[in-house]
Amino acid sequence: MTLNLLLSGEFIVFAILAIVTLLSTWRMVTSRLITHAALFMALSFTAVAGIFLLMQAEFVAAIQVLIYAGAITTMVIFAIMLSGLRDIKSQAKTAVRSWTKSNAIVFVVGLIFAAFMSYLYYAAQLPRAAAAESMTTVSTIGQSLFTYYTIPFEIASILLLIAMVGAIILTAKEAEQE
């Protein structure tokens, strides 16, 4: 790594976002309260959305904020609050605080996996990409979504519909039968 790279704005922004992502994910694993974990998850998703912006994928950054940081976090927090999960004591001793043997083994395996993959990416000497301006706009994405990818798009909407109906059926109290 040259000094030139270290001082470039792109690298500095990436470093800040990466540190925020990793720290919030770490806190998400180790925090004892589940509501804290959910909020750290939202922070992690938002930082990753910033990295998507850095990768010039504005559309993905937008749907990341909308779906992950917005919808899924809200849903998890609603589930926690509505069901009183907060009050149910987790039977297991607050998992990661106590470094049992199995926890440590899984941690080391995950760490080795991530480090090995990073080393592979580093050592692979991937060919230099041609510097190109971003050509994807939301209209390009929309055009190919509604022409070439119409059938997958419709299948995705049917999947969402089925998931919605299933979730309602699973959680609705059977009032009319009683």
Partner 1 sequence: MSLPIYLPLGLGAFLFGMGLWGALTRTNAVRILMFIEIMLNGVNLNLITFSRYYWQADPEMAARAPIITLFIMTVAAAEASVGLAIILNVVRNRDVIDVDKVTLLKG
Burial of 58 (0-12, 13-18, 19+ CB in 10 A): middle
Nearer to partner 1, 9 or 176 (CB): 9
Number of residues interacting with partner 1: please give it, by CB under 8 A: 89
Give residues 17-46 in contact with partner 1 (rule: CB under 8 A): 18, 21-22, 25-26, 28-29, 34, 37-38, 41, 44-45
Among 3, 82, 151, 175, binds partner 1 (CB under 8 A): 82
Among 3, 88, 151, 175, binds partner 1 (CB under 8 A): 88
Give 91's DSSP letter.
S
Per CB under 8 A, 129 contacts partner 1: yes
CA gap 95, 28 in Å, rounded: 12
Q: DSSP secondary structure string, 21-56?
A: HHHHHHHHHH-SSHHHHHHHHHHHHHHHHHHHHHTT
Alpha carbon 114 to its chain's center = 16
* Nearest-approach distance from CB 178 to partner 1, in angstroms: 15
* Nearest-approach distance from CB 106 to partner 1, in angstroms: 5
Instruction: Check: CB of residue 114 under 8 Å from CB of residue 121.
Output: no
Per CB under 8 A, 16 contacts partner 1: no
CA gap 106, 108 in Å, rounded: 5
Among 126, 151, 176, 177, binds partner 1 (CB under 8 A): 126
Give residues 90-109 in contact with partner 1 (rule: CB under 8 A): 90-92, 95-96, 102-103, 106-107, 109
